[in-house]
């Protein structure tokens, strides 16, 4: 039996704000338009995560609308190549890396070292699972 496609939903992020960056990638893979509500707390995290999630998605060709308390993400079959600022935010960096798996072309993440905050070996594990990683040190 073939897996069923992901379908867009409305997601109340009040109790799960830290999941919004990665769930925005899932939403971008779903059919339809997903709306995240009650996510205003994300504006006071390591970065303004509504703003940085929006920038991340746009950088890889995803249609997204930023709202004061949430996001509206339109699903699509593939993402484009792009360059993303990690915004000194571990969740933005890890979400971007996962999104790169669905991108047509390479995705560059500036400030990828931010993963050290919560998952220092993220890129080692990502590569072991089949992700292609090329790390460069800042000059």
Which domain CATH number covers 40?
3.65.10.10
Q: What are residue 80's DSSP bridge partners?
A: 104
Give the range of the structural domain holding residue 64, as residue numbers without chain letter: 10-128
Give the tens place of pLDDT for each residue, 39-95.
999 888 888 999 999 999 999 999 999 999 999 999 999 999 999 999 999 999 999
Q: Is residue 134 part of a domain?
A: no
pLDDT at position 139 over 60:
no
User: Total domain count for the chain?
Assistant: 1
Q: Is residue 81 part of a domain?
A: yes
pLDDT at position 97 over 80:
yes
Q: What's the confidence (pLDDT) of residue 26? A: 97
pLDDT at position 132 over 70:
yes
Q: Is residue 71 part of a domain?
A: yes
Q: pTM of whole model > 0.85?
A: yes
Q: Is residue 36 part of a domain?
A: yes
Q: Is residue 52 part of a domain?
A: yes
The angle formed by the CA atoms of residues 49, 125 and 53, to the nearest 5 degrees, is 15
Torsion of CA 41, 44, 49, 55, to 10 degrees: 130
Q: Is residue 4 part of a domain?
A: no
- What are the catalytic residues? 18
Q: Is residue 138 part of a domain?
A: no
Q: Is residue 102 part of a domain?
A: yes
Give the tens place of pLDDT for each residue, 18-52.
999 999 999 999 999 999 999 999 888 888 999 99
């Amino acid at each position: 039996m073939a897996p069923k496609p992901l379908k867009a939903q409305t997601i109340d992020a009040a109790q799960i704000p830290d999941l919004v960056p990665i769930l925005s990638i899932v939403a971008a893979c779903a059919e339809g338009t997903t709306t995240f509500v009650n996510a205003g707390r994300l504006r006071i995290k390591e970065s303004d995560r509504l703003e940085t999630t929006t920038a991340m998605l746009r950088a890889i060709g995803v249609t997204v609308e930023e709202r004061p308390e949430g996001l509206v993400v339109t699903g699509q079959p593939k993402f484009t190549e792009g360059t993303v600022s990690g915004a000194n935010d571990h969740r933005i960096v890890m979400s971007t890396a996962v999104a790169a798996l669905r991108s047509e072309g390479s995705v560059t993440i500036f400030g990828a070292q931010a993963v050290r905050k919560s998952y220092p070996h993220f890129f080692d594990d990502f590569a072991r699972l089949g992700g292609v990683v090329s790390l460069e040190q800042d000059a």
